[in-house]
Amino acid sequence: MSELREESNSRTGVELFAGAGGLAMAVHSAGFRPLLFNEFAKRACQTLQANGAKPRGESEAIPEPGEPWPLVEGDVQSLDMSYLHGKVDVLAGGPPCQPFSLGGVAKGDEDKRNMFPEMFRAMREIQPKAVICENVKGLTRPSFKPYLDYILREMEMPFELRNPETSWQEHDTYLREARERPVSDPSRRYQVVMTKVNAADYGVPQIRQRIIIVAFRADLGIDIEQFQNDVAPTHHEDALANSMIDGSYWERHPSVPRHVRDRVMAGLPEEKLEVDPKFLPWRTFRDAIAGIDENEGKPLPAVPWDRLDRQEYRAGGFTDHIGWPDARIYKGHTPNALDRPAKTVKAGVHGVPGGESVMLTDDRYRDPESPTGWTYRHRYMTVRETARVMTFPDAWKLEGPRGEKMRQLGNAVPVKLGAVFANAVAAALDKAEGRS
């Protein structure tokens, strides 16, 4: 999907904090026709427009099927969404994670960038059938866990208004009491499910620990157990090891040099590991470069060592596959290995972290100071390689200079991970409403 357009989607969606469009693509592909989305960052808005979105302006008209997504650029706190009340199946978004991220300043609920209150307001104004909310695993840390519990209760009872002069702790106490009282209108309550995920367990070629919170309007009678089954992991690390041991992984990558294969195999057991046969192997960085899903059969060409020059060139016709100089490996910033899922793609507080976007290649040179006598060459990942480990299709355009593109990718939801949850939400709504 290269543009935010769809003629046949019968369900509807709204996305806040849309970013580069990872979750937007996932929700859209699950059958939700977009009615509105909002993003604050200028470069991310340019990316969304490059892929078919159109500034909404002052109009609050609801788009017809086939029309571009209406984009409102700016602060969500000034966005009125009440005109969409009762017209939205799913509200999706990933409120800025810096307040809770290890990479951020970790001020949590005191940080002005905490936008969870805007998600609660959107739930009240729109009253959607379902909500999908992604955020960092840092919210589960002991110091933030009480606030995470409060977030879950707020999503369960968004219509229990908080006094602006009241602390979240005081409101949390009120919510605990309100939860025990009978409910006259179940459409004003939600069933909330939080799932801890590693994106690699869902076929994303990247280690990415996150939480995904899904809420269903309580009057719909959603089968929560079936939903949880639908979002269970599908891939496993041990299945990847087994595919290497039995040779099926190497058959997919016949051009891997023998010395690379031997190095990888040296770190594996001789016999296969016990793993449930329902699990597929984790996907690796090498798999992503070779092409998976929408990019199947479209391998990215190697970046020549004499082209680490920041200069645009269309190697194999791919955009954003541009070499970058001066990659370094240093303590705390180990490089990505090709035959493992990539490390977490990070936005970085001040741009792209140096070592985090570095990769080891298959090329090596003689090095008498190395214990093995060899040293493998390394370079920065290209933007296109990074987009692939985020499972963005190659047709999706990214706008801005390299650092901004990498920032957008680091802030995004991997498309394939988002699709698992968006498809499960669609299936749950279909079943509850007799569509399935």
Question: Which burial class, exposed, middle or buried, applies to 45 when counting CB atoms under 10 A from its CB (0-12, 13-18, 19+)?
Answer: buried
- Phi then psi for 371, rounded to 5 degrees? -60, -30
- Residue 191 carries which side chain, given as an amino acid letter? Q
Q: Do the Cβ atoms of 29 and 419 come closer than 8 Å?
A: yes
97 included as an active-site residue: yes
Three-state SS annotation for the chain: CCCCCCCCCCEEEEEECCCCCHHHHHHHHCCEEEEEEEECCHHHHHHHHHCCCEECCCCCCCCCCCCCCEEEECCHHHCCCHHHCCCCCEEEECCCCCCCCCCCCCCHHHCCCCCHHHHHHHHHHHCCCEEEEEEEHHHHCCCCHHHHHHHHHHHHCCCCCCCCCCCHHHHHHHHHHHHCCCCCCHHHCEEEEEEEEEHHHHCCCECCEEEEEEEEEHHHCCCHHHHHHHCCCCEEHHHHHHHHHCCHHHHHCCCCCHHHHHHHHCCCCCCCCCCCCCCEECCCHHHHHHCCHHHCCCCCCCCCHHHCCCCCCCHHHCCCCCCCCCCCCECCECCECCCCCECCCCCCCCCCCCHHHEEEEEEEEECCCCCCCEEEEEEECCHHHHHHHCCCCCCCCCCCCHHHHHHHHHHCCCHHHHHHHHHHHHHHHHHHCCCC
Strands 358-366 and 374-380: antiparallel
Active-site entry in 24, 97, 212, 342? 97
Buried b (16+ CB within 10 A) or exposed e, 381-411: bbbbbbbbbbbbebebbbbbebebbbbbbbb
Q: Which are the catalytic amino acids?
A: 97
